[in-house]
């Protein structure tokens, strides 16, 4: 009976595989991120932005290289490293050679490792990993590899910018660090300790806490603890549901202290925090939204909101990923990953915001201007979550000043 | 320090009583039918989602009444057409059925409401700080949760011990055959208890949805904990479930509040540890870290050493 | 009876008869990658092989021993973690060992933990056992996030399977090489588990499952019998975990959490726990659903959930049970008269299902796509989700199909009973 059912299975296989037709004039970009579970809203929002960027920046202009179009193929990894590798295998099987991923550095660490192995074993079907959001510094330092490119500033760069803001706030004497218990959360905590010690040796760190990622039901006990510690400020790298929960709990306990964050905007977070977080929450990010930078960006943003009224341009770097990938393919005159990688390395690019960025060749880290913004409803042109609240830029760090040294020893294919 | 203890106590009691609303229904169902209902937390989730949808049309308060009734009806249908049908295949099949049902309900919820977190908010009238203690606010909504769960506990206890229905239920728990001989419709009692148990879980969902978030994973997060309470409290014991709920609730909040690690303990005895050894995780092990572990440790220990639970009279 | 009759025939032919299915299985395992050579099918078969071993080991508990476990992934996951650590030891040349032996260590750690946990959890069967397994499962899954040195935290532990001495020129760089590694292990473990179920020990496990008291009366300690089954089961689950580690080169907390424990229960039950090959069929079907169905629909888990609940309610013997119900009919050569009733009930049922699936998919499409994207394609057909016609067609399909199928049910039942009615001439031996 095993045999019988296997044959039935075989018949199913045969019919199914006949459907998968592939066209040569399409570049498939595999999007591996959570589309279900506690971080689904972050993932689906990112997917919409990729689909929009591919359509708006490439396909509408007739594609690249005389008509080659971009197609975004979504794969749900449920934020699990294991599931991501399963989806990676599937994507490679479906002739995808460009992988974009961003949510969770744990996933990114697994993917970069798997892609390195895959490219070594299968030189004729190489894959590029375009990381748009996973900011564990290790990815462009000790774990760097030639096939990985990071378009977001890493946790150290961001913390360097955030602590520039804290540096001038003399009223802050005690800081509480809270984050998710995995590589990224640990990286944020480590960076905070290092930079605070450098810039403000008088500040004491009254709490350095890691909580399980995506599993905490109620952040009230944590908020109580922060309150009891007498902290003057909180630094957190939380994102997705963990940021919503933390923001809500801190608001509920009536804690009136500044909160410095990496990701406390959009994806329902801005709406949840609302009035309670006004002028309290600060965010470090790329791509200044308010006040609007250039007419090109304003047009892009408006067009996006027209197509996805419920979503936001929460990760501007996605436009950079698509823009730079298209430019690299044009320059290389090819869509083969090895040629494109050679072009991406060291590439200079002007973003929709009119900012000049460069993909640093020695570690594949994009060096770009970094901004620190405040959560407010005054002077907001483009709000988040349609809530009237948004992020207003308070301070900017020029691209050259954000560059930190790297320990990466890049091995390039011969 | 006193501030921390005070608020941890309050938060622990709120969490504990919320858990009790789930556990009370489950323990009645478990002791009557001998089936641990895996889908019980799914009814809690349904309660939150029903109430969310109702609240988008007519506001929070009608949802508080309507959603649990709807959930109760769903529960009764599940018992009548699902469980009773599967009963003939034995207990294992029943257990697996509720397990499959939990899986299915989660998928159905994702199908109907989508995979993201729903913006289910507490009513405007309860969005204020009830009191301020050491500069920390206590939200009125939490007090409201406390009030609802305590009143449910009291009403339930009164019904079970003082009313005629309660006596029949108690009889059906211990001697189902004898109760049936006496002319009571035991299957109907089963269906009723299952429905009411589901409705109680629904109430918990309605009031927990705004506080803990309304998302497809909310059942999975809470489900196993409720099992722990039922087993630890003892079979069929409402008081046991009450005590165990509070115990677990306090255990979880205090474990987060009190940040002590094995290292601190060893320091007391002047023992220093090597920070790079393979056992380093053991030395840095802190209470907040092992907080999620404690309920299950309790469950396993209770099952090994006291299978009747803390207050139960029969074995699980 | 059958034993005696086979002993009377020539020993050579009986030996062939015993080994025939195994030879068949071996040949099948060898030629499969030649038939299905695409990357995705090799990948699917690898997953199938791992899940077959895992599901069979689970059935040693549930089907053969009557122990319902909600924490079987613990042994699978621990086996996986141990194996991936061994892969890393091989990479750093702490041990010199060919890669194909790694799953053994997965099995050994599975066995060790099964011995420890089984020593107290197998005292009782039933709900107590189920609850302890659940508690242990949650306990181990939660500790895996705490003990980062061994479990690697949220990221898990990665390894590289191409390291170590190459035996016969295999370095496992491609999936096909891994396929043969898994196939060999699958063949060996399936044979071992089958033999275990035929030993007196395996038979006693069945006896304890069916009636603990009577089993004790004939001099066996029910606890000891359960304990031995439990340990064997943990060992094989660990091997499956080791193969998982080699195939995916990563093991994470997910491998030992409640979800994986649930999946293995699902596979074994859908396949049929009352038969040795039930879990094999369950694993094959589930993997196919997981890898193929998920390519075509986002709501595949909804279908799996419905299938699971329907199986529990109406076919407690699983898919194998349904197939087995047809055996007597085939043996009595009465398939012919059943064919027409099957067609008459089957075609409307399929139409009804097509309508239902179409409705579900369309509703899902309308809800999940941006408002301006109203065109969807289903099974090659393009249509506009905002026009009325497709909805009408699907509703008509569902209602008419369902109605016709229902009207055919009594006739079908009649035909079914007629086909199963004992014939007076071969009454006794038909059983």
Q: Structural domain boundaries of chain A? A: 24-154+311-367, 156-290+369-401
Residue contact C316–B89, C-beta within 8 A: yes
Helix or strand holding residue A282 (H, E)? strand A281-285
The minimal CB distance from B257 to the residues A221, A271, A272 is found for A221
CATH of C12-325, one of 1.25.40, 3.30.70, 1.10.3470, 3.40.50: 1.10.3470
Chain A residue at shortest CA distance from B137? A253
Lowest mean pLDDT among B39-53, C106-120, C172-186, C228-242: C172-186
Q: Domain residues of chain B, as ranges?
A: 10-305
Residue contact A5–C285, C-beta within 8 A: yes
- Tokens representing A175 are 């800081």
Name A100's bridge partners. Answer: A31, A130
Residue pair A315/A104 in contact by the 8 Å Cβ criterion: no
B258-271: string of b/e by CB count within 10 Å (b at 16+)?
A: bbebbbeeeeeeee
Chain C residue at shortest CA distance from B289? C146
Any idea which architecture A156-290+369-401 has in CATH? 3-Layer(aba) Sandwich (3.40)
Taking residues A83-102, what's their average pLDDT?
88
Residue contact B281–C66, C-beta within 8 A: no
Q: Which fold has domain B10-305?
A: ABC transporter involved in vitamin B12 uptake, BtuC (1.10.3470)
Our measurement of the distance from residue B271's CA atom to the centroid of its chain's CA atoms, rounded to an integer in Å, reads 41
Taking residues C253-278, what's their average pLDDT?
88
A93-132: string of b/e by CB count within 10 Å (b at 16+)?
A: bbebbbbbbbbbbbbbbbbbbbbbbbbeeeeeebbbbbbb
Average pLDDT over chain A reads 85
The minimal CB distance from C153 to the residues A12, A113, A182 is found for A182
Taking residues A81-97, what's their average pLDDT?
86
The minimal CB distance from A228 to the residues B3, B15, B292 is found for B3
Contacts of B118 in chain C (CB under 8 A): none
Residue pair B50/B66 in contact by the 8 Å Cβ criterion: yes
Residue pair C191/C53 in contact by the 8 Å Cβ criterion: no
Residue contact A36–B119, C-beta within 8 A: no
Helical segments of B213-293, H only: 218-233, 238-257, 262-268, 280-284, 287-290
Name A393's bridge partners. Answer: A373
**Best of C312, C364, C365, C370 to mutate (most B CBs within 10 Å, chain B):** C312
Q: Considering chain A, what percentage of its residues have pLDDT values greater than 90?
A: 15
CA dist A99 and A127 (Å) reads 7
- Subunits adjacent to chain C (3 or more Cβ pairs under 8 Å): A, B
CA dist A355 and A293 (Å) reads 9
3-state secondary structure of A69: strand
Q: Give the number of beta-carbon pairs within 8 Å between A and C.
A: 101
The minimal CB distance from B116 to the residues A40, A212, A225 is found for A40
Residue pair B24/B236 in contact by the 8 Å Cβ criterion: no
Q: Is A11 part of the contact surface with chain C (CB cutoff 8 Å)? A: no
Q: Domain residues of chain C, as ranges?
A: 12-325, 328-421
pLDDT digits (tens, 9 = 90+) for B110-145: 888 877 777 787 887 777 777 777 767 788 888 888
Q: Considering chain B, what percentage of its residues have pLDDT values greater than 70?
A: 93
Residue contact C143–B293, C-beta within 8 A: yes
The DSSP-derived string for C386-430 is: TSHHHHHHHHHHHHHHHHHHHHHHHHHHHHHHHHHSPPSTTTGGG
Q: Which residue has the higher pLDDT, B269 or C74?
A: C74
Specify burial of residue C431 (Cβ count, 10 A radius: 0-12, 13-18, 19+): exposed
Residue pair B201/B71 in contact by the 8 Å Cβ criterion: yes
Our measurement of the distance from residue C190's CA atom to the centroid of its chain's CA atoms, rounded to an integer in Å, reads 13
CATH of A24-154+311-367, one of 3.40.50.1820, 3.40.50.2300, 3.30.465.10, 3.30.1330.10: 3.40.50.2300
Name A70's bridge partners. Answer: A27
pLDDT digits (tens, 9 = 90+) for B248-295: 999 888 888 777 777 777 777 776 666 666 566 666 677 777 777 888
Q: Which residue has the higher pLDDT, A212 or B53?
A: B53
Kindly report the number of other CB atoms within 10 A of residue A90's CB atom: 21
Contacts of A307 in chain C (CB under 8 A): 370, 372
Q: Considering chain C, what percentage of its residues have pLDDT values greater than 70?
A: 92
Quick check: A104 pLDDT over 90?
Answer: no
> How far apart are the CA of B190 and the nearest CA of chain C, in angstroms?
19
Residue contact C135–B293, C-beta within 8 A: no
pLDDT digits (tens, 9 = 90+) for A363-375: 899 999 999 898 8
The minimal CB distance from C370 to the residues A16, A182, A308 is found for A308
Average pLDDT over chain C reads 83
Residue contact A5–C372, C-beta within 8 A: no
To the question of pTM greater than 0.90 for the whole model, the response is no
Taking residues C275-301, what's their average pLDDT?
85
CA of C373: how far to CAs of A45, A320, C203, C299, C367, in Å?
A: 17, 25, 60, 19, 11
Q: Is A306 part of the contact surface with chain C (CB cutoff 8 Å)? A: no
The minimal CB distance from B111 to the residues C132, C299, C312 is found for C299
Q: Is C370 part of the contact surface with chain B (CB cutoff 8 Å)? A: no
Lowest mean pLDDT among A24-33, A36-45, B43-52: A36-45
Q: Do domains A24-154+311-367 and A156-290+369-401 have the same CATH topology?
A: yes
Helices (H) and strands (E) in chain A, counts: 13, 15
Scanning the structure block, which residue is given the tokens 């109605």? C403
Residue contact B91–C127, C-beta within 8 A: yes
**Best of B116, B219, B285, B294 to mutate (most A CBs within 10 Å, chain A):** B116
pLDDT digits (tens, 9 = 90+) for C337-378: 777 778 888 888 888 888 888 888 888 887 777 666 667 777
Residue contact A183–C154, C-beta within 8 A: yes
The minimal CB distance from B11 to the residues A211, A224, A271 is found for A224
pLDDT digits (tens, 9 = 90+) for C118-141: 998 888 877 788 888 988 998 998
Which three-class secondary structure string do you get for A157-212? HHHHHHHHHHHCCCCCCEEEEEEECCHHHHHHHHHHHHHHHHHCCCCEEEEEEEEC
Chain B residue at shortest CA distance from A228? B4
CA dist A82 and A91 (Å) reads 14
């Amino acid at each position: 009976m095993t045999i019988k059912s296997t044959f039935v299975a075989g018949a199913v296989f045969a019919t199914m595989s006949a459907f998968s037709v592939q066209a040569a004039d399409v570049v498939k970009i595999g999007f591996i991120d959570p589309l279900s579970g506690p971080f689904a809203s972050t993932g689906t929002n990112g997917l919409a932005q990729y689909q929009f960027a591919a359509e708006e920046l490439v396909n509408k202009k007739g594609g690249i290289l005389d008509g080659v179009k971009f197609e975004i193929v979504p794969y749900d990894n449920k934020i699990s490293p294991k599931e991501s590798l399963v989806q990676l295998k599937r994507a490679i099987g479906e002739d995808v050679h460009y992988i974009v991923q961003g949510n969770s550095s744990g996933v990114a660490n697994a993917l970069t490792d798997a892609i390195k192995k895959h490219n070594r074993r299968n030189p004729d079907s190489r894959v590029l990993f375009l990381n748009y959001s996973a900011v564990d510094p290790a990815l462009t330092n000790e774990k760097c590899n030639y096939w990985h490119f990071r378009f977001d500033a890493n946790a150290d760069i961001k913390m360097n910018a955030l602590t520039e803001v804290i540096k001038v706030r003399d009223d802050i004497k005690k800081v509480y660090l809270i984050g998710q218990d995995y590589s990224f959360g640990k990286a944020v905590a480590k960076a905070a300790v290092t930079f605070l010690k450098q810039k403000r040796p008088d500040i004491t760190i009254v709490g350095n806490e890691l909580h399980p990622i995506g599993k905490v039901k109620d952040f009230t006990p944590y908020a109580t603890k922060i309150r009891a510690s007498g902290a003057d400020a909180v630094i957190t790298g939380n994102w997705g549901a963990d940021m919503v929960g933390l923001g809500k709990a801190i608001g509920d306990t009536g804690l009136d202290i500044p909160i410095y964050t990496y990701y406390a905007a959009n994806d329902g977070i801005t709406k949840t925090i609302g009035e309670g977080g006004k002028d309290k929450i600060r965010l470090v990010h790329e791509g200044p939204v308010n006040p609007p930078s250039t007419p090109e960006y304003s047009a892009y943003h408006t067009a996006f909101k027209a197509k996805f009224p419920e979503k936001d341009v929460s990760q501007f770097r996605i436009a950079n990923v698509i823009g730079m990938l298209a430019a690299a393919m044009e320059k290389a005159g090819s869509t083969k990953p090895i040629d494109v990688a050679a072009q991406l390395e060291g590439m200079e690019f002007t973003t929709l915001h009119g900012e000049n960025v460069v993909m640093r060749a020695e570690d594949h880290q994009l060096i770009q201007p970094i901004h620190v913004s405040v959560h407010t409803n005054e002077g907001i042109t483009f709000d988040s979550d349609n809530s009237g609240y948004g992020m207003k830029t308070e301070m900017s760090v020029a691209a050259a000043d954000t560059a930190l040294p790297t320990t990466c020893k890049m091995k390039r294919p011969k | 320090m006193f501030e921390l203890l005070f608020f941890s106590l309050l938060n622990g009691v709120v969490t504990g009583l919320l858990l009790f609303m789930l556990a009370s229904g489950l323990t009645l169902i478990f002791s009557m039918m001998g089936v641990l209902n895996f889908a019980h937390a799914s009814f809690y989730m349904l309660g939150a989602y029903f109430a969310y949808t109702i609240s988008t049309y007519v506001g929070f308060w009608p949802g508080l009444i309507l959603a649990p009734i709807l959930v109760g009806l769903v529960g009764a249908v599940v018992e009548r057409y699902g469980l009773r049908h599967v009963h003939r295949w034995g207990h294992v099949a029943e257990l697996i059925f509720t397990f499959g049902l939990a899986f299915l309900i989660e998928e159905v919820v994702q199908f109907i409401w989508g995979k993201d977190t729903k913006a289910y908010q507490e009513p405007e009238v309860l969005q204020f700080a009830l009191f301020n203690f050491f500069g920390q606010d206590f939200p009125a909504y939490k007090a409201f949760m406390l009030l609802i769960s305590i009143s449910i506990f009291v009403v339930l206890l009164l019904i079970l011990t003082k009313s005629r229905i309660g006596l029949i239920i108690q009889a059906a728990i211990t001697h189902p055959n004898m109760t049936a001989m006496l002319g009571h419709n035991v299957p109907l009692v089963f269906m009723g208890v299952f429905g009411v148990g589901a409705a109680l879980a629904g109430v918990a969902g309605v009031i927990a949805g705004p506080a803990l978030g309304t998302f497809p994973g909310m059942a999975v997060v809470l489900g196993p904990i409720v099992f722990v309470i039922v087993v630890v409290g003892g079979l069929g014991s409402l008081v046991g479930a009450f005590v165990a709920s509070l115990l677990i609730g306090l255990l979880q909040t205090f474990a987060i509040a009190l940040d002590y690690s094995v290292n601190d303990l060893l320091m007391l005895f002047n023992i220093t540890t090597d920070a790079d050894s393979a056992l380093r995780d053991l030395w840095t092990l802190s209470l907040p870290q092992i907080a999620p572990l404690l309920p299950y440790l309790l469950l396993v220990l209770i099952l090994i050493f006291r299978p009747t639970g803390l207050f139960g009279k029969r074995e699980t | 009876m059958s034993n005696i009759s086979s002993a009377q025939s020539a020993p050579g032919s009986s030996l062939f008869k015993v080994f025939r299915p195994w030879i068949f299985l071996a040949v099948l395992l060898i030629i499969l990658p030649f038939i299905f050579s695409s990357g995705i099918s090799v990948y699917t078969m690898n997953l199938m092989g791992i899940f077959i071993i895992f599901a069979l080991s689970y059935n040693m508990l549930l089907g053969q021993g009557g122990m319902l476990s909600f924490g079987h992934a613990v042994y699978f996951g621990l086996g996986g973690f141990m194996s991936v650590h061994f892969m890393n030891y091989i990479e750093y040349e702490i041990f010199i060992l060919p890669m194909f032996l790694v799953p053994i260590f997965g099995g050994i750690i599975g066995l060790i933990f099964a011995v420890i946990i089984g020593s107290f959890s197998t005292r009782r069967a039933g709900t107590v056992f189920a609850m302890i397994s659940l508690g242990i499962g949650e306990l181990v899954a939660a500790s895996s996030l705490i003990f980062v040195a061994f479990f690697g935290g949220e990221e898990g532990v990665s390894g590289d399977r191409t390291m170590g001495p190459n035996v016969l020129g295999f370095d496992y760089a491609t999936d096909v090489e891994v396929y043969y590694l898994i196939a060999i292990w699958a063949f060996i473990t399936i044979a071992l588990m089958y033999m275990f179920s035929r030993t007196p020990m395996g038979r006693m496990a069945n006896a304890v499952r069916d009636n603990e008291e009577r089993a004790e009366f004939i001099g066996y300690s029910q606890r000891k019998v359960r304990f031995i089954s439990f340990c064997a089961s943990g060992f094989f689950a660990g091997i499956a975990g080791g193969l998982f580690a080699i195939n995916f080169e990563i093991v994470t907390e997910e491998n030992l959490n409640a979800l994986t424990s649930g999946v293995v229960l699902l596979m074994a039950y859908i396949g049929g726990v009352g038969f040795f090959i039930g879990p094999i069929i369950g694993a094959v079907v589930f993997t196919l659903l997981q890898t193929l169905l998920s390519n075509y629909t986002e709501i595949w888990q909804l279908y799996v959930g419905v299938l699971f609940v329907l199986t529990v309610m109406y076919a407690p013997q699983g898919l194998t049970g349904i197939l087995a119900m047809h055996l007597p009919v085939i043996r009595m050569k009465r398939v012919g008269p059943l064919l027409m009733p099957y067609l008459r009930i089957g075609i409307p049922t399929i139409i009804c299902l097509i309508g239902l699936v179409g409705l579900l998919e369309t509703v899902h499409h309308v809800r999940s796509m941006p408002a301006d994207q109203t065109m969807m394609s289903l099974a090659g057909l393009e249509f506009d989700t905002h026009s009325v016609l497709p909805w009408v067609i699907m509703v008509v399909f569902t209602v008419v199909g369902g109605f016709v199928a229902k009207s055919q049910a009594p006739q079908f039942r009649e035909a079914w009973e007629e086909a199963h009615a004992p014939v007076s001439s071969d009454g006794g031996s038909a059983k």
